[in-house]
Amino acid sequence: MPRYEKNPDAIAALSPEEFHVTQESGTERPGTGKLLNNKEPGIYVDIVSGEPLFASSDKYESGCGWPSFTKAIEPAHVAELRDASLGMIRTEVRSTHGDSHLGHVFPDGPPDRGGLRYCINSASLRFVHRDDMQAEGYGDYLNQVEDIT
Q: Which CATH class is domain 8-144?
A: mainly beta
All residues at 6 or more sequence positions from 121 whose CB lies less than 8 Å from its CB, including other chains: 21, 26, 27, 28, 33, 66, 67, 101, 102, 103
Of 59, 46, 54, which is closest to residue 95 (Cα–Cα)? 46
**Along the 149 residues of the chain, how does pLDDT read in single tens digits?**
567 888 889 999 999 999 999 999 999 999 999 999 999 999 999 999 999 999 999 999 999 999 999 999 999 999 998 877 767 788 999 999 999 999 999 999 999 999 999 999 999 999 999 999 999 999 999 998 875 44
Q: 119 an active-site residue?
A: yes
Q: What is the pLDDT of residue 149?
A: 43
Residue from 119, 123, 125, 145 carrying the catalytic annotation: 119
Of 79, 78, 81, 82, which is closest to residue 44 (Cα–Cα)? 78
Domain boundaries, the chain: 8-144
